[in-house]
Structure 1
Amino acid sequence: MTACWMAALYACCFIGITSAQEQGQAKPQEELMEMSVVVVNPSKTKTQTVPIKMYLPREVTPDAILNPDGLDIEFDSDNSMYYVYKDEVLLKPAETRVFDVEIRDVWNIAQERMDAMADQTRSLVERLKGSDFYEPAKVLEEAIVKSLNTITVTQNDETVSRRSHIGIYRSNLKIIDQVKEDISRLEKQLEIVIASPKPEVLEQSQLKTDSPAKNTTWMIIFIIMLFIGMLGGVFFFTWQTQAHATKNLISEARESAFPAGEHSDAGKE
């Protein structure tokens, strides 16, 4: 039992990460990384059976595992990480076994993505030209381009170890998040500029509110007076018509109430 536990400890202690270049091989088109698990049986007389379990970096998914070297792959939902394992590994006395898990290098930010972000930044700043936001936007553009260049340099640095390469990738993701926030700020500034009235429109509006010419003023006065005169004439003729109609209506009502025959009979009596 003690020997098995020691073997398991050996398995945990000899986990390494290497690349093709670190092993002296030519750099492939697709960068590969190897995570090695070394299992040692410390007993020189007994055959031992030990389990193996090695967690993979959180960025690694089954699609990125090119060769598990005979180990099984499983997902740990509690830790949200994949791991490779073997329930039983048979080791002869003093035997050492090495499992090399080949993984595609997923710790790189695509250059196309960064180029697109740089192009988007330049386009936004260009559209802000002539506004109050332009000068601050130029400063922000320089900071964004510098950050993207830093990512390109650091993630392609072949002098760092594979472990450092993974750490650099995680730091670069934070830089990408900051760049995205900066681009979003530029987009909001552009929305403000688009929503604001342009100087030409303001000038045209000011011209339209200027006082009219003298001839135009007299013409407007003449039209108003003519309109008032016509309106007065309409009112006068309407009043005359209504007065005449009212007079006729009263006469008809009187004749209807007191016919001519009744007036003469009343006089005789």
Structure 2
Amino acid sequence: LIRCMGDSHRPSRDYEQPEIQPEQEHKGALQISAPGREVSINQLVQPPLWAPKIIYSLAKEIYHYVGEDIVIYETIDSYGAIMWPAALALCSFLENNREIVNLQGAQVLELGAGTGLVSIVASLLGASVTATDLPVVLSNLRANVLRNTRGRCRELPKVDVLSWSFDLKRSHPTGVHQYDYILAADVVYQHDFLEELLATMKHFCGPGTAVIWANKVRLGSDLTFTENFKKAFHTSLLFEDGDMKIFKGTCRRS
């Protein structure tokens, strides 16, 4: 019953028009090995004082979902601003299994939206989407989302800052923020906020809400989070292909 991604979804790369955003500083610091210590590339290569501050953009990628070409730009200033495989798996699943996850007219929240591809596909499938991530990712996320949904969707997605937290009652009260689906792709990796992520999922998961979480298993912490996810939600496995899994969770509250 579960249909997988076909060749038509594989990205094509176009190196002719990189998107450079001035007046913003690249935050990443590449670490390289030196005898007896690690040295930041920033310590070895100091730009001249007149050099502009920019975010370096990778090549654009073009994906094809829901009958549309979707142009995505990535940046190297954050893990969240590049494409990860679970996003592709989730987009393919949503497009090809609409009888399982019907997004037409649904209220959707994406956690850790990154480049915005999942939110774009959900919007093209008819959902009213709020794409969220950290401030460092938001500029590129907003540009990708608006570029690919303006004039194509019945409602433009919202793009908003959301930090995973144990205490969202004040900033995001559940009486105001109610969703049919919470989408998340490759949000579980080596970071220190896995407990906050689970608390955020639980906060937004009200009666009638389903969490659709796609993840490629890489580390032992992924398995620990999966066990905690299963304890927090009524869980079913929607899709599995090797280390790639897509789960559906619904609230355990009485």
The question of a shared fold, defined as TM-score above 0.5 by the shorter chain, is answered with no
**When you count strand as a share of all residues, which structure comes out higher?**
2
TM-score w.r.t. the length of structure 2 is: 0.24
TM-score, scaled relative to structure 1: 0.23
